[in-house]
A and B are shown apart, each in its own frame.
Chain A
Amino acid sequence: MTKPILELKGVCKRFGGVVASDYVDFSVYPGSIHALIGPNGAGKTTMLNLISGIYQVDEGEIHLGQQQITKLPAHQRSRLGMGRTFQAPRFLQRANIRENLLIAIDLKDQTGHVRSFLGKGIVGFESELKRLVEVAELDLDLEDDITSLAYGQSKLLEIVRAMLARPKVMLVDEPAAGLNGNEQGRVIALLKLAAAEGIGVVLIEHHMDMVLSTCNEITVLNFGKVIAEGDPQSILHNEHVIEAYLGRKKSC
């Protein structure tokens, strides 16, 4: 029985009077693509922010592998293998593509600044990058400004960058938003590659067909509470889920 790579136990988060997360239990296993779905405002992005450490939990525990990371600051969680992408890609606007990606390699290697200063430069970067770029079907000139990328390209590059750091867990926030069918296919290919390499992928996504075809596990949130959990087929027919999205039918 494999242990989860990411585990949340009884996690609560309140913003003033609003309960964003209500005693949430959540487990992600290595190599799985685990979707987090729910109507708007259900608390999905809040969950990602709690897991990555941008928000601190009010109650509960978070474990990454064997380690408790509940009190750790966000940057330390990243260093322990917490990867993250954002709905609106967060790149360094004034750097070129190469520098933006090298930051991920810095995170992967974690050799420290002194060694980086004295060292010969980054080894193995090009080959690492190549396999990811091939799957993502990106044709890149590394010297280009990051601002020259089209929207779809930048979304794909966000995922590539996260994967370059070889994380244990990857939190992916609406990667398909605004992408056409072809680009969505490439996103799926990247996520499947990540899972194949043992990364536990947590996916927030509204495109149901993408969720159903890609994920092997789904957790449904509503009003900060977990209302259903299971494989895609069972979730599809779960009446709580249907009610949450569509409302209950009034009996006449």
Chain B
Amino acid sequence: MIIQLLLSGISMGMIYALMAMGLILIVKAVGVLNFAHGELFMLGAYITYMLTVQMGLPLIPMLICGLILFAFVGLMFMFSVYWPLRNASWPVTITISTLGASMVLKELARFIWGPFPLKAKPIISGALSFGKITLEYQYLFIIGVSMLLILVVFVLFEKLYIGKIMQAAAQGRYAAELMGIPIVVTIAATFMISTCLSGIGGWLSAPLFLVSQSLGSMALKAFAGIVVGGFGNITGAVIGSILIGLVESYSSLFTSVYRDAVVFLVLIIVLLVRPQGLLGERISEKA
């Protein structure tokens, strides 16, 4: 039982980590948290459903189509929701704009796929059994794929030149423009990568839950992961998200309805005790 919860906790944590990474990327790129992030995740699950159940595509073509669609959605999202407001003097407007976007995405999903929850096919059925312990392949697959993606993103942003360019553009737009870095491209790329990460998260989690418009609320757990792990830090976001996944999983030992409340309570306690998160540094502004 404990091992089961460990497994499901880590795999959910990994999914949250994928979303968290996407969120952090956008925060670093444009300085505002994207309130529609959960809905992008939800859209990922729906698109995956459409490609597998409704269109019956096999794995590889489905992944390719899915990624193209995710990237496209990310691009559209950026141009309609963020780009017109990129020079706004008040960041609140971008926040509320993403809020409007989350509503739009939810309604679009409702129009296209209907208001009733849908059942997606498991990616890999079956499980591994050692005596009393059963490890479902689904969870192992999620952990494997997520770890791979996390590694790729980490290498891309922290080690490769492309990542440095994108970070530069994020930290100082004007200077980056003066240096010839095409801001539109880097920001668009960031949004597309972020959407792809959420989309893949949606694909991985679709078999675990019913595909419905309420999937968007998962973003909150991803956010909790970011805060618990440490602000603005990809590593922190990942570790924090996995911790959140574990907290959520193990809280089912003593409650079923209040699981969400427990997660958020942990978030608030971390904020009280160590506001910069486990791996965060105290940020001070330059005068």
Query: A residues bordering B, Cβ < 8 Å?
Result: 45, 48-49, 52, 54-55, 86, 93
B287 within 8 A of A: yes
| Nearest 6 A/B pairs, CB to CB | A54-B287, A49-B287, A86-B287, A93-B89, A55-B284, A45-B287
Chain B proximity of A248: nearest CB distance (Å): 33
Q: A49 to B89: give the CA distance in the assembly, Å.
A: 26
Q: How far is the CA of A49 from the CA of B287 in the complex (A)?
A: 7
Known: A52-B287, A54-B284, A55-B284. 7 other contacts (CB 8 A): A45-B287, A48-B287, A49-B287, A54-B285, A54-B287, A86-B287, A93-B89
CA distance A54 to B89 in the complex (A): 24
The B interface is mostly helix, strand or loop, or mixed, namely: loop
Within 8 A of A (CB), among B64-106: 89
Contacts of A48 in B (CB 8 A): 287
Which of B's residues lie within 8 Å of A, judged by CB? 89, 284-285, 287
Contact residues in B for A93 (Cβ distance below 8 Å) = 89
> Closest Cβ of chain A: how far from B93's Cβ, in Å?
13
Measured CB to CB, the closest approach of chain A to B30, in angstroms, equals 20
Q: Which residue of A lies closest to B90 (CB)?
A: A94
Contacts of A52 in B (CB 8 A): 287
- Residue pairs across A and B with Cβ atoms less than 8 A apart, 10 shown, are A45-B287, A48-B287, A49-B287, A52-B287, A54-B284, A54-B285, A54-B287, A55-B284, A86-B287, A93-B89
Which residues from chain A contact B284 at a C-beta distance below 8 Å? 54-55
Question: Distance in Å from the Cβ of A78 to the closest Cβ of chain B?
Answer: 13
**Bound CA–CA A52/B284 (angstroms):** 14
Whole-angstrom distance between the Cβ of A34 and the nearest chain B Cβ: 20
**A65: min CB distance to chain B, Å:** 23
Of all chain B residues, the one with the shortest Cβ separation from A74 is B287
Give chain A nearest CB distance to B91 CB in angstroms. Answer: 13
B276 to chain A, nearest CB (A): 15
